[in-house]
Amino acid sequence: MFAVFLPSLNFRGNSTPYLWWFYKFVSELGAQAAYICGEEYFFDPGEHHAAGRPDVSNGFATSFGFAIPNIETLAVLARHGIPNHVWRSLEDRFPSNPLAAFQDFCLQKNELLGAAIFESLDQITQTHGKVEAVLTCVNCVTLAELCRTRDVPLIHVELGALRRPHFPLTAYFDFSGVNGGTEARARFTAAEDALKSDGWGNLKALQGLFFSTAPQEGLCPDVDLGLALQVEDDSNVICYSNRFSSSSLINDAQIRLAQGAIAAPVLVRSHPGSLFSVRNISPEFVADTSETSLQFVSRCKRIHTINSSVAVEALLHGREVFVFGESSFGFCIDPLTHRINGPATAFFLLNYLVPWDIAFSSDYLRFRLARPSEERIREVHLEQFMQKKIELLETRIDALEEQITQIKSSLSWRITQPLRTLLKVLRQVKARVR
C-alpha cells in the first residue's frame, strides 16, 4: 500500500491546490494507495468543474494522462484526511499572506501537522499493513522528517523539465526533494564514471532522441539576452530562488546594459501561467510574444532565469545559460562557459527525468524502491524514450503516406506521368553512358 500526501493549504484561492495531481494519482494507483489530504479533494468533480477549475477539464486530463474520477470512485478510496483546523492554523499564522504560509509549510517543521500525518500513517498501517512509500508533489520538511523517523521512503514527483509538444513529457522523481533539496547532483557524481563511456554525452545524440521536432539549426539569435520569468506562486520562486525575483533579473539586466556588457533589446518572456504581464519597463526591454519557449530560446544568445526549465531547453540548443536560484539541473551547466555539460545533461535527461507514462505506475515505483543501479535505470528510461520516438516517426510516416496518396490521386500527377517516365529513361541512359 502506498500513501499519497497532498496539502489542503489555501495559497491559490482554494483548498485543493493540487487537485489534478490527486486525480492523476487516483487514475494510476486507485485502491493501491491511501490518500492523506483534505476532504475537499474528495468532493464531486462536478462541483470543482462548476467552480471554473481548468484542471477538471477533459483537455487537461488528456494532456496529462488521467481520468477525472466520478464520485462513486472517490467514495471507496482509503482516505485519512488531515483535519481542516490543521491547515487553517497554518494559514492563520500569516494573515493575508498565503504565500508566506506556503513557504513555511515547505521549509519549516510544524508539530501540529506532523502529529496529524503521524496519526494518518498509523491508521493506514493498522488497516492496510506496511506503507511501501509516501508520494507527494511538493516539499514539506515536516513530512520528510516524519518519514525518516518511521523509515518510510518518501518519493517526490513533479512535472519534469521537458514537456510536449517539442519534447516527450517527463517527470521529476526524487527521494530527497523537488525543485530544491534534490538528489540529482549527488546521483550524477556517484555514477559519472560508470556511465561515462556509453556515448550519450554528445549534444547531437541528445537532440536526436529528445526533440520531437527538429531543432532550428542555423537560425541566428538576434538578441544578446533573454529573461525567462516564472510563476509567482511556485515553490521554485517562493522557496528556492536564492532571494532572486523577476524584478531582480530585470534590474541585473539593466546594470549589464549600462555597463555595455550586453546590447539592447533584452527579451523578456513571462511564464504562460503568470498572473502578470510585462509592462512599464524601459524601451531597452521587449516583451516576448513567441508562441513557444523554443522560439524564444532560438532568438537569444544567452538565457537568464531563476530556475525555469526553459534553461534545459536552452542547453539543448547550445545556448549560454545563467541559473540564479537553486535547481535540480544546475550541475548540467559548465561553470566556465555557461553552456551544456554533456555527460551531466545526459544523466539529467536519461536517469533523473522519468518518462511521464511510467513515472506513476506501481511497477515503476517498486522498481525504484528496489534501488536499481543507474545503468539499469538508464536502460528502462531509454527503452521508453525510444519507443516514444518510434511512435512519433510512425505517425509522421503515416501522415506522409497520406499526403503521397492524395498527390498521386490528383489530376496534376496523372497529367505529368509521361514526363516522369521520360525523366526516368533519361537517367538510366545517362547511367549507362557513364
The answer, yes or no, to whether residue 235 has pLDDT greater than 70, is: yes
Q: Is 43 exposed, middle or buried (0-12, 13-18, 19+ CB in 10 A)?
A: middle
CB neighbour list of residue 105: distance below 8 Å, 6 or more residues apart:
7, 9, 90, 113, 140, 142
What per-residue confidence (pLDDT) applies to 414?
Answer: 66
Q: What cell was used for 12? A: 491559490
Q: How many CB atoms lie within 10 A of CB 61?
A: 17
CB neighbour list of residue 91: distance below 8 Å, 6 or more residues apart:
9, 10, 98, 101
The secondary structure of 289-333 as a DSSP string is: --SSHHHHHHHEEEEEESS-THHHHHHHTT-EEEE-S--TTGGGB
Alpha-carbon gap, residue 142 to 112, rounded angstroms: 10
Of the chain, the end-to-end C-alpha distance in Å amounts to 74
What per-residue confidence (pLDDT) applies to 271?
Answer: 85
Domains plus CATH for the chain? 2-152 (no CATH), 209-347 (3.40.50)
DSSP SS3 for 340: strand
The answer, yes or no, to whether residue 3 has pLDDT greater than 60, is: yes
What per-residue confidence (pLDDT) applies to 396?
Answer: 67
Percentage of the chain modeled with pLDDT above 70: 91
What per-residue confidence (pLDDT) applies to 287?
Answer: 93
Q: Are the C-beta atoms of residues 2 and 135 closer than 8 Å to each other?
A: yes
Report the pLDDT averaged over residues 380-392.
Answer: 92
Residue with cell 489530376: 411
Report the pLDDT averaged over residues 224-241.
Answer: 94
CA 299 to chain centre: 23
Residue 340 one-letter amino acid:
I
Report the pLDDT averaged over residues 239-264.
Answer: 96
The answer, yes or no, to whether residue 434 has pLDDT greater than 80, is: no
CB neighbour list of residue 357: distance below 8 Å, 6 or more residues apart:
65, 169, 384, 388
What per-residue confidence (pLDDT) applies to 219?
Answer: 66
pLDDT for 81-126, tens place per residue? 899 999 999 999 999 999 999 999 999 999 999 999 999 999 999 9
Percentage of the chain modeled with pLDDT above 90: 77
Helices then strands, counting H and E runs in the chain, come out as 20, 12
pLDDT for 141-163, tens place per residue? 999 999 999 999 999 999 999 98
Q: Are the C-beta atoms of residues 320 and 333 closer than 8 Å to each other?
A: no
What per-residue confidence (pLDDT) applies to 23?
Answer: 97
Dihedral angle, C-alpha 55, 56, 62, 66, nearest 10 °: 100
The answer, yes or no, to whether residue 398 has pLDDT greater than 60, is: yes
The answer, yes or no, to whether residue 217 has pLDDT greater than 60, is: no
Alpha-carbon gap, residue 18 to 234, rounded angstroms: 12
pLDDT for 40-70, tens place per residue? 999 999 999 999 998 889 999 999 999 999 9
What per-residue confidence (pLDDT) applies to 276?
Answer: 78
The answer, yes or no, to whether residue 301 has pLDDT greater than 60, is: yes
Alpha-carbon gap, residue 184 to 175, rounded angstroms: 10
Residue 264 one-letter amino acid:
A
Alpha-carbon gap, residue 57 to 67, rounded angstroms: 10
390-393's contacts with Cβ under 8 Å and 24+ in sequence apart are: 392/212
pLDDT bucket at 429, cuts 50 / 70 / 90: low
Report the pLDDT averaged over residues 205-232.
Answer: 85
Residue 15 one-letter amino acid:
S
What per-residue confidence (pLDDT) applies to 430?
Answer: 62
Most confident option among 254-268, 277-291, 418-432: 254-268
Report the pLDDT averaged over residues 24-53.
Answer: 94
The answer, yes or no, to whether residue 283 has pLDDT greater than 80, is: yes
Whether the model clears a pTM of 0.75, i.e. scores above it, the answer is: yes
Stronger pLDDT, 300 or 398, i.e. the higher one: 300
What per-residue confidence (pLDDT) applies to 213?
Answer: 75
Task: State the average pLDDT for the chain.
Answer: 91
Pairing of strands 78-79, 33-36: parallel
